[in-house]
Structure 1
Amino acid sequence: METFVAQLKATQLVRWVFCDTNGNARSKLIPGGMSAHFVTRQPRRFCTAVIPMTCNSELPHLAWVVDNGYPDCEMVPDPDSFHLVSWSKCQQPGSIGQVLCSTNWPDGGGPVEFDPRNVVRRQIDRLDRELGLKLASWTEMQWHLCKRGETGWTSTEPAGHLDGSQLMQKYEVLVSELCSSLMDTGIAVESVSPGSGAGQFCVSLGSRDGAAAADDAFMGREIVKQVAANHNLTATFMPIPHLLASASRLRINHQLVEAPDTRGDFKQPLKNLAPPQVLRHWLAGLVHHAPGIAALTWPTLNCYRSDKPGRRVTWSCSDLSTLASPTQALPVVDLRIAPMRSAEDGGDVVWRLENNLPSSAASAHIAVAATVAAGIDGILRRLELPTRPEEAPMLPADLASGLAALEADAVMADALGAQLFDFCREARLQFDLAMVAAKAHANESDSEALKREAKFYLEFH
C-alpha cells in the first residue's frame, strides 16, 4: 500500500476508472494528493446510478432505482492496476495516472451486486469453491475505425483487407501507439491484424488468470478508443456501424485448470470424471445456455444484424475423439474445443475452449461471467451435447426474442443477480426498443437504419 500511495502522490492527476453495465469505462479525475487521501483516510464515494445508465445517460425506470443525487457507494481502487497513461495528450511525462476500481456499499456493506467486476468475480469464486477449478482466459477484440463525413459516419477504408500488409503499414503509427499503450498498462498483446470488414481491426490479448482477462478486455477497449481519438479517428465497438462492416465480436478463449483442495483430492462434482468428460460437460453447458449467453452479449439492436441471430447454435470438438460430436461443416462455429500446444517446444497438447458468441458491444465482464456460469451448470448437471445439429437450441432472432431467451434462462439470471438482470432487461425495453427502434420509419433502407442506429451506438460503444 505504501508504494501505491507514493505512486498516487507523484502523479498530477489520477483517473479512478470503473465499469458500467454496458462495458464502458466511467471515471473520476482526482488530483494525486487527494487520491492518496481517499486511499488512506476517507474512501471516495460516487452514485451507483451511473453504473446502469444507457448511452443517452438515462436510467432504466425501476421502482428501486433512484438517482438520489448523492454518493451512495465507495470506490475501491486496485493497487496492482495502477499505471501511467502513456497515451495522454498532456505534455508533461507521467502527469496522468490511472487505477481500476470496484465498488462497495459504504460502512462494510459488501460489494455492489450489479457492478460487472463484482459479477464476474462471483462466478470465478464459484468455479473454485464448487468445482475446484481455476480459469485462464484471453480475449480477441474487434472494432472498426470510422470518421464523420458530411453524410454521417463512414469507414476509413473503402473495403476490407483481411491481414492486409499494406493496410497495416498505413496504420502502423496508430497500431504502434496502441500496442505500447496496452503494454504500458500491463496488458499483454499477442497480435494486431486487419479484419475482413472495411476499417476493421482485431487485437489478441495474452492469457490471464481468474477475472483479470475481463479487466484487460475492458481497459483495452477504452485504450483503443482513446488512441484512435489521438489520431482524429473514432474506434467503435458497435458491431456493424456501416454497410461495409463485418460484424465485430469479442471472442472468449479459456482453459480450465484443476486445483486440488488441501487434502490433495478434487471436489465432489469432479470425482470420477476424466478431463475430457469435464470439457464435454462444460461445452454442453455453453451450448445449452447459448440463447441466454447471446441475449446478454448482444445488448443492442445493431448486434442482431450479424450472421448469428435466428439460427441454431453450432459447436465443434471433433478434434478430440473422446468428445465425439456431430461434425458440422459450417462457416461459423460458435463454441469450440480446439487443440493448443503448451508453451514449451514438444509439450503436450492442451485444449482451449472458445466462446465466439459475444458481440463486440458486450461487456467483457458480463461475457466472461455468463461463460463461466454456463460451464459450471454443464458440469454440475452433467449436461450432454445434442446428438444431432438439428437438436441444438436456436439463437434469438431479434432483440425481443433475446429478451424472451434471457427471461427463460434462470442460470443466466442467477449469474447476473436480480438487480443487474433487471437493468439489462429494462435498458433493452425502455431504450433500445422504445427509443431506438421506435424511430424507424416505413420503407427504411439498411443504410438509413444503420445511420439511425449509429446516432445512438457508434460513439458510445
Structure 2
Amino acid sequence: MTSPNTPGVLTYEELRAEAAAGRVEEVIVSVPDLQGRLQGSRLAVPYFLDEVSRQGFGACVYLLASDVEMGTGPGYAIDAWKSGFGDFVLRPDPATLRVLPWDPGTALVLADAVWPGGEPVEVAPRRVLRAQLDRLAERGLTALAGTELEFLVFRNTYRDAWERRYHGLEAGTRYNVDYSLQGLAEIEPVVRRVRREMVRAGLPMETARGECHAGQYEIVFRYDEAMATCDKHVFFKNGAKQIAAQEGVALTFMPKYDEGEGNSCHIHLSLRGADGSAVFADETADDGMSELFRQFVAGQLACLPELALLMAPNVNSFKRLQPGAFAPTGITWGRDNRTCPVRVVGSGGSLRIEHRVPGGDANPYLAVAAVLAAGLYGIENGLTLPAPHAANAMADPSVPRLPTTLPEALSRWERSEIAAKAFGEAVVGHFARAARAELAAFETAVTDWERVRGFERL
C-alpha cells in the first residue's frame, strides 16, 4: 500500500513504523451507528495489524439496531435479543485510517459491518450509501459531496450542562456573530483548536466563520468523493466534541437547541462522468444546466416528502424546519435562493446542488444516500424540472410543504414505493423502527413546556 501523502492519514505500513517509533500505541476500530455516531473499541497496534486488519473484529449486532440511549428491541431488521446479542464483524477500511491529534498515541479507522459469512449488513449506514453509489457506478457516474456543519458553543462543561438538565447554559458569544470578525474572541481558542487539529488529521479546511445564533460556528471542509466526505463528517463531529470536552466547554450539533436559529448540515453534491467530466454542466444550454442535471434536481423535488426521514430523523429535526426559522419548509428549487430546500449554485465544473433540508443531527451517509436515490429517480424517469422559484419560498403558500413532523415523515417513508425500490424493504423497515423508537421516547417524556404551562395553572 502506497502512502496517500496526506498529513494525518496513515497506511498500514506507516502505522507499523509509527508504532515502532512509539508515536502510535492504539487503534480505535469504529463503525458509524444509525445516528451517525462512532462506536468501537481500542486495540493494540500489533494485534490490529497482525490479525484485525485481515480478519476483522467482532462487535455486538445491537450497535446497528439501537436508539440514542442505546436501547434495542424487536422490530429492527437486526433483532439483537432474538440472536442472543451475537456479533457481526467489523472489517476496517484502510483508506480511513487517521491519527487523532487530540488523543496522542491513538489512530482511528472506520469499518464496514459484515456478517460472519462475509455478507454485508445491509442496514449499516455506510452500506446504505454504498448501494446508491453502486447504482451510480452502473451508469458510469461518481458523486462528489461536501457537508456544511453548524454547531453551538457553550462556556459550560458537558457535565455541568448535564447536571443543569441543559438549562441556563452560557452561550459562547453574547450576540449574533454571523460573519463577525470581532465577536468571536471568546470562542476562538476552542474553534481554532478544532480547525487546526482537523487539518492535522487530514481534513482540508475551506472556510470557517461565526453564524447567526449566539455561540454558533461553522467549519467547512474541502469536498471529496461522497463516501470519503461522510467518513470525514463523522470523524469531525466525534473529534470536535472530544476537543470541546478537553477545553472545558460544550458544543452541540442538535438542529434546534432553543427558539433561535438552528444548526444545519447543508449538503453540496455534484456528479462526474467516468472520465471526470462535469455531467451537470452544459455550456450550450441557456442556463448552463445539462438535461441530466435538470432530471436530477426534479428527482429531489419528487422524492423529498417520501425520503425526508433520512434527512430529518428525530423529533427535534422538525423544530428547525418551521416557518421563520431560516430553514426550508416548502418543496421547490431556486438558482442561488436560500429560501428553497434545493439551491442550485456554481457554474461549469462547480455546478451543483446545495440540499438545505438536513440538520446537524443528520446521519451523513443516509442523507447523501437519499439525495442520490432521489436524483437517480429523476434520471431514470426522465422527470421535467419546473421553473426555478425566484421569490421567498418560505413565505409562498402555493409551494408544496415538507413533512412538518416526524410521524408524517415516517408515514410517507413507510408507504413509499420509491424508498422500497431504492433501498429495499429491510432498510425501509429498519429505519422506520428507529423512528418509532424516537417517537416512543418523546411521547413518554414530560417536557419543561408542560410543567410551565400546567404545574400551577391546570
Shorter-normalised TM-score: what interval?
A: 0.7 to 0.9
Aligned-partner residue type, residue 385 of structure 2: L
Q: 2: CA distance between counterparts of 1:447 and 1:373?
A: 43
Offset at residue 137 of structure 1 (A):
1.2
Does the Cα contact within 8 Å between 2:321 and 2:404 map onto a contact in 1?
Answer: no
Q: Distance in 1 between matches of 2:263 and 2:182?
A: 21
Compared with structure 1, are the counterparts of its residues 166 and 113 closer, same or farther at alpha carbon in structure 2 (3 Å cutoff)? same
Letter in 2 for 1:37: D
- The TM-score, its normalising length taken from structure 2, stands at 0.82
- Picking from 412, 433, 439, the partner of 2:445 is 439
1:208 aligns with 2:224: yes
SS of alignment partner, residue 396 of structure 1: coil
Residue of structure 2 equivalent to 1:22: 35
Contact map agreement 2:330 2:340 (CA 8 A) in 1: no
CA distance in 2, matches of 1:40, 1:251: 34
In 2, Cα distance between the equivalents of 1:350 and 1:174?
Answer: 32
Is the Cα–Cα contact under 8 Å of residues 314 and 332 in structure 1 kept in the other structure?
A: no
Alpha-carbon distance between aligned partners in 1 of 2:453 and 2:345, rounded to the nearest angstrom = 38
Asked if 1:285 is matched to 2:299, the reply is yes
TM-score by length of 1: 0.81
Q: Provide the C-alpha distance between the structure 1 equivalents of 2:349 and 2:106, rounded to a whole number of angstroms.
A: 44
**1:361-400 correspondence to structure 2 within 5 Å:** 361-386=361-386, 393-400=400-407
Q: Following superposition of structure 1 onto structure 2, how do residues 100-115 of structure 1 map, counting pairs within 5 Å?
A: 100-107=110-117, 109-115=118-124
SS at match of 1:139: strand
Structure 1 residues 37 and 231 mapped into 2: Cα distance closer, same or farther (>3 Å)?
same
How far the C-alpha of 1:366 sits from its partner, in A, is 0.3
1:278-427 to 2 correspondence within 5 Å? 278-308=292-322, 311-317=329-335, 332-340=339-347, 350-386=350-386, 393-427=400-434
Deviations 1:127-165 (A, max 9, x none): 120x22221111101111233457432242343311222
Output the amino acid matched with 2:125.
P
Query: Which ranges of structure 2 fall in alignment gaps of 5 or more residues?
Result: 3-10, 280-284, 390-396
Question: CA distance change for structure 1 residues 221 and 441 in 2, over 3 Å: closer, same or farther?
Answer: closer
Return the alpha-carbon distance in structure 2 between the equivalents of residues 4 and 447 of structure 1: 59
State whether structure 2 residue 52 is matched by structure 1 residue 49.
no
Deviation at 1:121, TM superposition (A): 1.2
CA distance in 2, matches of 1:285, 1:363: 21
Q: Determine the structure 2 residue equivalent to 1:252.
A: 267
Instruction: Measure how far apart 1:312 and its partner are.
Output: 2.5
CA distance in 1, matches of 2:66, 2:361: 15
Partner residue of 1:326? none
Give unpaired runs (5+ residues) of structure 1. Answer: 267-272, 320-329, 341-347, 449-461
Do the aligned residues in 1 keep the contact of 2:152 with 2:217 (CA within 8 Å)? yes
User: Does 2:245 match 1:235?
Assistant: no
- Residue by residue over 1:203-226, the C-alpha shift from the partner in whole angstroms, topping out at 9 and shown as x without a partner, is 111010242111111211112211
Aligned residues: 413
Instruction: State the 1:294 CA deviation.
Output: 2.2
Give the SS at the match of 2:185. Answer: helix
Alignment partner of 2:152 out of 141, 144, 153? 144
CA contact (8 A) 2:53 2:91 kept: no
Q: Which has the higher contact order (CA 8 A, sep 6+)?
A: 1
CA drift at 1:260: 5.8
Among 202, 223, 245, which residue is 2:239 paired with?
223
- Percent identical residues: 25
* Aligned with 1:66 (options 68, 74, 80): 80
Residue of structure 2 equivalent to 1:455: none
Distance in 2 between the 1:406 and 1:6 partners? 45
